[in-house]
Amino acid sequence: MQPFVYDGLPSRVVFGQGTLSRLAEEIERLGSRRALVLATPQQQEQARAVLEQLGERGAGLFTEAAMHTPVEVTERAMRVVEELGVDCTVAIGGGSTIGLGKAIALRTGLPQVAIPTTYAGSEMTPILGETRDGLKTTQRTLEVLPETVIYDVDLTLSLPVGMSGTSGINAIAHAVEALYARDRNPVISLMAEEGIAALARSLPVIAADPGNAEARADALYGAWLCGTCLGSVGMSLHHKLCHTLGGSFDLPHAETHTIVLPHAVAYNAPAAPEAMSRIARALGCEDPAAGLFDLARAVGAPTALEDIGLKPGDVDRATEIATRNPYWNPREVEAEGIHRLLSHALVGRRPVSEEGAQS
Ligand code: NAD
């Protein structure tokens, strides 16, 4: 057994079907009385229903949350926070809405209830990425970790099939990288393996039968575990590549994760054999890189970066940016290998785990 350090994150999780009905008591538990409900414009109706449900504990709505937490949106929300005198936020939505709740918490210390409706996992992390003038900066501080997370399986039934698959594989990516993280530990590795397995068995069922509540519960459970992995240990090459492709080429978040993951795993395979056998076991396959690619295909997700907006001419610049300040990675990050990885991901070639490279 390798020595390790384990930091438990202080958050309360309420999980089940119909758990949204417990929102008012959870707000009371936080000692709050005037909640601001946050959402994207697309989830305005859902947010309005939550506000109505809250009755006198609902202070108002702010439904302008946007991808990558733009600072100008947060500043508009801050004016509403001050005008209404709110004492907590309730974020209902995916990573974009939960990011806004975190940005408000950073500026005010207000407690947060997060109600995730995707599998992205932001609700379980002390990480906030904010965008100012097109530049994204990320920070890690416990001040942004939501105090309470309500996972309600019913709310994920409306997540479109396409988004369910890509968002679920986005979650798997957190667990995959947790298994070979430099600061990995046995507890998080258990969660990672279980999280991958729960999503790998439920996502194909959801693709065929989106209203299957049992599969939806399994997927949300997996997403919780994978989000905990993301919040607890460091991420490596895969997340660096996705941040580069999202930040500099404006590629969509969950789709990018889905396409890149099998290729990042193929690249890292020779340097992380124990992680690879755990990923393979969780997926129920021999080669984890090929298994992740096949899972993406089974849920009808895109498999080629050229299909979501990357141009062949972008590969050189993406390689240069991704290798400039690499995150720690089990295998050395070298330009030729990354160029090959991105070229394969560009056209959607089915990867096979590489062999023989040095860690
Ligand atoms: P998202 O929050 O941007 O949601 C995408 C769209 O789907 C939005 O229009 C949203 O309103 C809609 N939507 C969400 N749930 C729905 C549902 N159940 N039914 C119908 N529509 C629904 O997407 P995301 O992938 O959850 O989050 C991506 C963002 O979160 C990125 O900015 C990413 O950087 C960030 N993120 C941050 C962390 C972190 O730890 N800080 C972790 C993961 C993701």
Q: Which secondary-structure segment (H or E) carries 151?
A: strand 148-152
Q: Indicate whether residue 232 lines ligand 1 (CB < 6 A).
A: no
**Could you read off the pLDDT of 119-135 as tens digits, one per residue?**
999 999 999 999 988 77
Shortest-distance atom of ligand 1 to CA 116: 15
How close is the Cα of 196 to the center of ligand 1, in Å?
19
Asked whether the predicted pLDDT for residue 150 surpasses 70, the reply is: yes
Contact 276, 283 (CB under 8 A): no
Contact 308, 251 (CB under 8 A): yes
- Residue 131's SS3 state is strand
pLDDT of residue 359: 35
Q: Which secondary-structure segment (H or E) carries 84?
A: helix 71-84
Q: Give, for ligand 1, the residue of 38, 46, 67 to mutate: max count of ligand atoms closer than 8 Å to Cβ.
A: 67
pLDDT of residue 37: 98
Q: What six digits make up the tokens of 198?
A: 């729960």
**Could you read off the pLDDT of 69-95 as tens digits, one per residue?**
999 999 999 999 999 999 999 999 999
Q: What six digits make up the tokens of 164?
A: 């369910």
Q: How sure is the predictor about 355, in pLDDT bands with cuts at 50, 70 and 90?
A: low
Atom 17 (ligand 1): residue with closest C-alpha? 159
How close is the Cα of 317 to the center of ligand 1, in Å?
27
Cα–Cα nearest to 104, from 83, 125, 73 = 73
Instruction: Report d(CA 331, CA 354) in Å as an integer.
Output: 11
Cα–Cα nearest to 262, from 323, 192, 345 = 345
Shortest-distance atom of ligand 1 to CA 66: 3
Q: Indicate whether residue 141 lines ligand 1 (CB < 6 A).
A: no
- Residue 60's SS3 state is strand
Atom 26 (ligand 1): residue with closest C-alpha? 94
Q: How many CA atoms lie within 13 A of 166 on its CB side?
A: 19
Q: Which secondary-structure segment (H or E) carries 138?
A: strand 135-140
Cα–Cα nearest to 234, from 323, 142, 140 = 140
Q: How sure is the predictor about 313, in pLDDT bands with cuts at 50, 70 and 90?
A: very high
Cα–Cα nearest to 337, from 264, 276, 286 = 264
What number is the average pLDDT over the span 10-22?
A: 97
Asked whether the predicted pLDDT for residue 44 surpasses 50, the reply is: yes
Instruction: Report d(CA 98, CA 61) in Å as an integer.
Output: 14
Atom 34 (ligand 1): residue with closest C-alpha? 68
How close is the Cα of 66 to the center of ligand 1, in Å?
9
Q: pTM value?
A: 0.95
Least confident of 25-39, 101-115, 207-221, 244-258: 244-258
Checking DSSP bridges between strand 112-116 and strand 127-132, what pairing results, if any?
unpaired
Please count the residues of the chain: 359
Residue 331 identity: R
Contact 50, 90 (CB under 8 A): yes
How many other CB atoms are found less than 10 A from the CB of residue 5? 6
Shortest-distance atom of ligand 1 to CA 231: 40
Instruction: Report d(CA 88, CA 83) in Å as an integer.
Output: 14
